[in-house]
Structure 1
Amino acid sequence: MPQRSVLVVLFDGVQSLDVSGPVEVFAGAENHTPGTYRVRTASLDGAPVRTSSGLTLLPDATLAETPRPHTLLVPGGQGTRTPDPRLTGWLREHGPRARRLVSVCTGAILLAEAGLLDGRRATTHWAYCDRLARDHPAIDVDPAPIYIRDGQVSTSAGVTSGIDLALALVEEDLDREAALTVARHLVVFLRRPGNQAQFSAQLAAQTAQREPLREVQQWITEHPAGDLSVESLAERARLSPRHFARAFRTETGMTPGRYVDRVRLEHARRLLEDTGDGVEEISRASGYGTPEAMRRAFLKALGASPAEYRRRFHPAPAH
Structure 2
Amino acid sequence: MQRIGFLVYPGFQIMTLAAASVFEFANLTLKQTNYDVAFVSEYGGPVASSLGAPVETKAIGKPCFDTLLIGCGTGIPSVPDSLIEIVRRAPRSARRVAGICTGAFLLAQAGLLNGRRATTHWLFARQLAERHPEVTVEDDRIFIVDGDIWTSAGMTAGIDLALAMVEKDLGTDVARKVAQKLVIYHRRTGGQSQFSALLELEPKSDRIQNALNYARSHLKSILSVEELAEAASLSPRQFSRAFTEETGQSPAKAVERLRVEAARLMMEQTRHSIEVIAREVGFADRERMRRAFLRAFGQPPQAMRRHAAEPEADTQAA
TM range (shorter): 0.7 to 0.9
Unaligned 5+ runs, structure 1? none
How does the TM-score come out when normalised to structure 2?
Answer: 0.86
Matching residue of 1:130:
126
AA aligned to 2:211 is V
81, 90, 96: which one aligns with 1:85: 81
Matching residue of 1:42:
40
**Fraction of identical pairs, as percent:** 38
Kindly state the Cα deviation for residue 139 of structure 1 after the two structures are TM-superposed. 1.4
Whether 1:57 and 2:55 are equivalent positions in the alignment is yes
138, 141, 146: which one aligns with 1:142: 138
SS at structure 1 position matched to 2:139: coil
SS at structure 2 position matched to 1:227: coil
Kindly state the Cα deviation for residue 124 of structure 1 after the two structures are TM-superposed. 1.0
Kindly state the Cα deviation for residue 236 of structure 1 after the two structures are TM-superposed. 4.4
In 2, distance between residues paired with 1:306 and 1:283? 15
AA aligned to 1:38 is D
Matching residue of 1:204:
200
Matching residue of 1:287:
282
In 2, distance between residues paired with 1:26 and 1:98? 17
Matching residue of 1:179:
175
Kindly state the Cα deviation for residue 230 of structure 1 after the two structures are TM-superposed. 3.8
SS at structure 1 position matched to 2:123: helix
Kindly state the Cα deviation for residue 231 of structure 1 after the two structures are TM-superposed. 4.9
In 1, distance between residues paired with 2:48 and 2:131? 27
In 2, distance between residues paired with 1:233 and 1:141? 38
Aligned residues: 309
Unaligned 5+ runs, structure 2? none
170, 181, 189: which one aligns with 2:166: 170
How does the TM-score come out when normalised to structure 1?
Answer: 0.85
AA aligned to 2:14 is S
Question: What does residue range 69-80 of structure 1 map to in structure 2 within 5 Å?
Answer: 69-78=65-74, 80=76
**More RCO (CA 8 Å, sep 6+):** 2
Asked whether the equivalents of residues 17 and 159 of structure 1 are also in contact (C-alpha less than 8 Å), the reply is yes
Asked whether the equivalents of residues 108 and 124 of structure 1 are also in contact (C-alpha less than 8 Å), the reply is yes
Residues 234/307 of structure 1: CA separation in 2 closer, same or farther (3 Å cut) = same
AA aligned to 1:62 is A
In 1, distance between residues paired with 2:183 and 2:129? 34
Question: What does residue range 1-319 of structure 1 map to in structure 2 within 5 Å?
Answer: 3-19=1-17, 21-33=18-30, 34-59=32-57, 61-67=58-64, 69-78=65-74, 80-206=76-202, 208-234=203-229, 236-237=231-232, 238-241=234-237, 244-275=239-270, 279-298=274-293, 301=297, 302-305=299-302, 308-309=305-306, 312=309
RMSD: 2.8
SS at structure 1 position matched to 2:260: helix
Kindly state the Cα deviation for residue 169 of structure 1 after the two structures are TM-superposed. 1.5
In 2, distance between residues paired with 1:26 and 1:209? 40
